[in-house]
Amino acid sequence: MKDKLLHYAFRYGAVVVIIGVIGFFSFRLPYFFTYGNLSDILGSITIVTFVAIGVTLSLVVDGFDLSVGSTVSLTTVGAASLMIWYQQPVYVVIIVSLLAGALIGLLNAFLIVKLRIPDLLATLAVMYIVGGIHKTYAQGYNIYNHMEFPDGTKAPGEMSAAFLQLGQGKWFGIPISAVLLIIAVAAVHIFLTRTKYGRQMYVTGGNEEAARLSGIKVKKVRTLAYVASGIFAAIGGILYASRVGSGQIDAGSPLLMESVAAVFVGFSVFGAGKPNVIGTFIGSVLIGVLVNGLTMMNMQYFTHDIIKGTVLVLALAVTFYVLNRSKA
């Protein structure tokens, strides 16, 4: 009986908690369970979920990308500067930002796959390097429309209205960024579960040597995983700049931990016990619902981390306790 309860808690615990939290806030807050507020919650989690998808892909191949937060900051600052400083069109801004994310992923892959530096150490080093690059590039300043430079001159450009629609626009009341997120989650889920390359990523993460002996090009697979992680972090950076309408040099600082929390909460969703994009999305929803409800209850923002940390601990406790019992 105890094992059966643990099994159900493992498979459905996160979903039950989300339903319970929504029910609690709906009972306490009359405006919580409304179309507008639920739409806002979905819009608020888009950036962190795109970043978390990148982390998920690195974990699938038994890695860990700590550089995603710095990548968000770099692409946020880069996207804003291209429009505000250099008056570049939107398509150039998006292409350059995505290429920047891909290059950071390639750098991570080179250090990890070629030089054999452990994932955590390599991506930690890249996190500091990228963080230093974007702060040096921006000279420590946030970038905003017609900002004034130290010499008294002003930036000639401003954020494009079309670009701002990505993060601020809505389609039938649903944020455009949320629509893009749902498409991305569905596409990545299909890729990981229904394609040969997705299955190769899981095999590589499960046992790299066995994957190599079975003919899988593990170096190529791991490289592509880190490039994809960088690209998804870059998408998060693009959406961040679009959402706030400026380039914030510390944009990505809180996103690393929030994305990691979402990914590990997702381990327990439907009993997956491994990184999976549907679980990551549900983990992000849980965190987004908690933050939104606590904000509406006028709880101080610095208490939110306590709640998020507690939820993460509970999710991890259930996940790894059940996994260890199943292996015993």
13 confidence band (pLDDT: 50, 70, 90): low
The larger pLDDT score, comparing residue 100 to residue 298, is at 100
How many structural domains compose the chain?
1
Q: What is the mean pLDDT of residues 230-244?
A: 97
Residue 58: predicted pLDDT: 97
Q: Is the dihedral of CA 150, 152, 157, 161 positive or negative?
A: positive
- Report yes or no: 110 and 226 within 8 Å, Cβ to Cβ: no
Band the pLDDT of 192: cuts 50, 70, 90. very high
Asked if residue 132 has pLDDT above 80, the reply is: yes
Determine the structural domain holding residue 246 and report its residue range. Answer: 2-327
- In this structure, the strands spanning 170-171 and 174-175 are antiparallel
Give whole-number Cα distances, 91 to 62, 70, 95, 160, 163, in Å.
34, 22, 6, 11, 9
N- to C-terminal Cα distance for the chain? 18
Mean pLDDT of the chain: 90
pLDDT over 60 at 285, yes or no: yes
Whether the per-residue pLDDT at 3 is higher than 70: the answer is no
Q: Measured between alpha carbons, how far is 327 from 241 in angstroms, rounded to an integer?
A: 45
Here the CATH number for the domain that contains residue 70 is 1.10.3470
Count CB neighbours of 23 within 10 A. 12
How much of the chain exceeds pLDDT 70, in percent? 91
Alpha-carbon dihedral angle through residues 10, 13, 14, 17, given to the nearest 10 degrees: -160
Would you state the structure tokens that stand for residue 238, as one six-digit string? 């693009």
Select from 109, 68, 99, 105 the least CA-distant residue to 233. 68
Q: Which of 227, 234, 239, 241 is nearest to 98 (CA)?
A: 234
Q: What is the mean pLDDT of residues 303-316?
A: 77
Mean pLDDT for the stretch of residues 176-193: 96
The pLDDT score that the predictor gives to residue 299 is: 84
Q: pLDDT at residue 185 above 80?
A: yes
Return the axis-axis angle of helices 119-137 and 68-84, rounded to nearest 10°: 20
Whether 248 and 76 have beta carbons less than 8 Å apart is answered as: yes
Query: What is the average per-residue pLDDT within 210-236?
Result: 96
pLDDT given for residue 2 in this prediction: 62
Q: How much is the pLDDT for 6?
A: 63
pLDDT value of residue 319: 66
Higher pLDDT, 256 or 6: 256
Residues 36-53 pLDDT 10s:
888 888 989 999 999 999
> Once rounded to an integer, what is the mean pLDDT over residues 187-197?
95
Q: Which residue would you say has higher pLDDT here, 289 or 163?
A: 163
Please report which residue ranges of the chain form alpha helices under DSSP H: 2-28, 35-44, 46-60, 68-84, 90-109, 119-137, 161-168, 176-194, 196-206, 208-213, 218-244, 255-266, 277-296, 304-327
Task: Name the band, by pLDDT with cuts 50, 70 and 90, for residue 272.
Answer: low
pLDDT confidence of 328, banded at 50, 70, 90? low
Q: What is the pLDDT of residue 5?
A: 67
> Which is nearest to 242 in space by CA: 167, 302, 149, 142?
167
The reported pLDDT for the residue numbered 151 is 86
Residue 7 pLDDT greater than 90, yes or no: no
Tell me if 64 sits within 8 A of 120, measured CB to CB: yes
Measure the CA dihedral 291/161/242/177, to 10°.
60
Class of residue 183 by CB neighbours under 10 A (exposed 0-12, middle 13-18, buried 19+): exposed
